[in-house]
Amino acid sequence: LLAELFCEKEEFELGADVFQEISTQNEEYMTDDAYYNYGNALEHLGKTEEALKIFDTLLKRNFHYKDVNHRVTELKQRVVSKQSEDLKSNRETIGGKAPKEIRYEMIDELGRGAMGVVFKARDRLLDRVVAYKTLPHTMKNDKEALENLAKEAQTAAKLNHPSIVTIYDVGEEDGTYFIAMEYADGKTLQEVLKLYHRITGNNFLHIAKALCSAVFYAHEQRIIHRDIKPSNIILMPNRSVKLMDFGLAKILQDLAIDKTMLRGTPLYMSPEQVLGKDIDHRCDIYALGVVFYEMLAGKPPFTEGDIMYAHLHTEPKPLVEVVTDVPKSFSSAIMRCLEKDKTKRPDSARSLWVELTQ
């Protein structure tokens, strides 16, 4: 109550201090309203990244609370915009590297996410076009993350599969840490689903086969994706399918400004990821199930209320009850992927493909 009174009187610094004390010592008293007002106070103080952390926490608690989804999206864009401006500033600084010394030449901005900006760029050294993803500036102060960065990237870069976007390079240039990867000039599955709503029949099988093959291959190399979702799946003009950011989720987990930023909207998270423990390759099987469900039904199994709670405790509506034109083999295989108990899911992506086509 005291914190809210401070905020009402526009004493945002005092309000934020009280909210911080409550959230640290008596978190059970932090209601949705309290988190919202806390984030609002931090935003008024210009503490964008801290405000994002609080609003993102609220988003996980109650996805539909007021305009929190919009606030998170807006604040993420501000954080990423600053990173983009800093990158541009670094490249224009007098006394910095001459243009010929800079390996990667930015061509166009491709997109923005919670963790950075993605550019279409030209690798001057190897004369090829790449996707250039910037990483959070905060990693400079995280020695453990820096030590793990090269190791994780080297492991992911060894993946050689036609349906996996290849990682080429990881490093630092002009004060900005980056990952350079294969440039895939197509539409994301997310974009295609927005346009067509559903993907069924042979088109579904074509995409599912490529994804199951890619995921099985990576798991055989002991690499887990951890973040399979439609925005990470690219459908190419030649009908090939590309799964990007393989191995990147683990890297970003070490670099995240806040661990919750990595999750985004938790539509595709397995129960064990929600709990943050006992994560193995079967979290990817769960995510594939959610993606396949969305492709066939036009929406993920959980879209309303506390989505993280639903992943843990709510049984998804059987696919055959959502859409009646789906083959029983599709429905039974996908519903097995969505089992809360990971031991009841298909034991591999190859097994999943077999079940889909029985």
| pLDDT tens string 112-124 | 765 678 899 999 9
Question: Pick the residue with more confidence: 263 or 105?
Answer: 105
pLDDT at 39 over 70: yes
Question: Are the beta carbons of 291 and 334 closer than 8 angstroms?
Answer: no
Tell me the DSSP string of 217-241: HHHHTT---S---GGGEEE-TTS-E
Which domains does the chain carry? 2-77 (1.25.40.10), 86-182 (3.30.200.20), 187-356 (1.10.510.10)
pLDDT at 273 over 70: yes
pLDDT value at position 81? 63
Return the top range by mean pLDDT from 60-64, 94-98, 121-125, 345-349: 345-349
Q: How far apart are CA 264 and CA 269, in angstroms?
A: 10
Tell me if residue 111 falls in helix, strand or coil: strand
pLDDT tens column, 296-347: 999 999 998 889 999 999 999 999 999 999 999 999 999 999 999 999 999 9
Alpha helices of 161-243 — where are they, by DSSP H? 189-196, 201-220
Q: Averaged over 70-78, what is the pLDDT?
A: 79
Active-site residue set: 227
Q: How far apart are CA 286 and CA 250, in angstroms?
A: 17
pLDDT value at position 58? 87
pLDDT tens column, 212-258: 999 999 999 999 999 999 999 999 999 999 999 886 776 666 555 44
Q: How far apart are CA 339 and CA 328, in angstroms?
A: 17
pLDDT tens column, 137-186: 766 667 777 777 777 788 888 899 999 999 998 888 877 788 899 999 99
| DSSP structural state of residue 66 | T
Q: Averaged over 283-301, what is the pLDDT?
A: 97
* Average pLDDT of every residue of the chain: 85
Does the pTM surpass 0.85? The reply is: no
